[in-house]
């Protein structure tokens, strides 16, 4: 079994895409993360869903989630309003992380090693410098467990 056998079409977002669009894609397509591409279409990062939240949450609540309780419920419900006008670039971790990327010939073991090492449930698959899709942890588990 090779990565090409588990390949799924993956929606991508650009570095300057609105982060609210990324949040919608994550929600609608039930994805563990999104592949972020540069202007030339090459993948540059994986945006995990939890990172989108970081932009929506005021800094003082991130340091101490208990402080979030003092914000009343009505305002707590509008936290996504703060995402408008923000870009995917702003949602990415400051420190660049290893990009989980491989080619369509990668074996199950290579995919598992990449996911384990980068703690990413999504691996970008690139062929001849072009993004051809993604393999998810879900797809890998399904195949390996024969379910």
Which residues would be at the binding site for a second copy (CB under 8 A)?
Answer: 1-2, 23-24, 26-28, 30, 32, 48-54, 56-57, 61-63, 65-66, 68-69, 71, 73, 75-77, 79-80, 102, 106-110, 112-121, 137-138, 140-142, 144-145, 147
If the CB atoms of residues 40 and 64 are measured against a second copy, the closer one turns out to be: 64
Which residues contact residue 97 at a Cβ distance below 8 angstroms, ignoring those fewer than 6 apart? 45, 118
Min. distance of Cβ 96 from a second copy in angstroms?
A: 16
Minimum distance, C-beta of residue 102 to a second copy, in the bound complex (Å): 8
Q: Residue 26 to residues 9, 29, 53, 66: CA-CA distances in angstroms? A: 14, 6, 12, 26
Q: Which is nearer to a second copy, 40 or 72 (CB)?
A: 72
Q: Which is nearer to a second copy, 37 or 99 (CB)?
A: 99
Which CB, 37 or 115, lies closer to a second copy? 115
Closest separation in Å from C-beta 53 to a second copy: 4
3-state DSSP assignment of residue 63:
helix
Say how far residue 6 (Cα) sits from the centre of its chain. Answer: 18
Question: CA separation (Å) from 54 to 15, 107, 111?
Answer: 16, 34, 28
Indicate the residue among 24 and 130 with the shorter CB distance to a second copy.
24
| CA pair distance 71, 69, nearest whole angstrom | 5
CB of 126 to a second copy, least distance (A): 14
Closest distance to a second copy from the beta carbon of 38 (Å): 23
**Sequence-ordered alpha helix ranges (H) in 18-128:** 19-29, 49-56, 59-63, 73-76, 88-91, 108-118
């Amino acid at each position: 079994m090779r990565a090409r056998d588990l390949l799924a079409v993956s929606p991508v977002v650009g570095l300057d895409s609105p982060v609210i669009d990324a949040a919608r894609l994550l929600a609608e397509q039930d994805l563990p993360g999104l592949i972020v591409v540069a202007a030339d279409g090459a993948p540059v990062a994986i945006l995990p869903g939890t990172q989108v939240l970081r932009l929506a949450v005021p800094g003082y609540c991130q340091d101490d989630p208990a402080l979030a309780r003092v914000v009343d419920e009505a305002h707590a419900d509008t936290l996504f309003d703060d995402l408008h006008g923000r870009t995917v670039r702003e949602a990415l971790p400051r420190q660049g992380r290893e990009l989980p990327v491989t080619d369509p010939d990668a074996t199950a073991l290579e995919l598992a090693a990449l996911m384990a090492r980068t703690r990413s449930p999504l691996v970008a698959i690139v062929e001849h410098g072009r993004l051809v899709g993604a393999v998810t942890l879900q797809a890998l588990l399904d195949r390996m467990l024969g379910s």
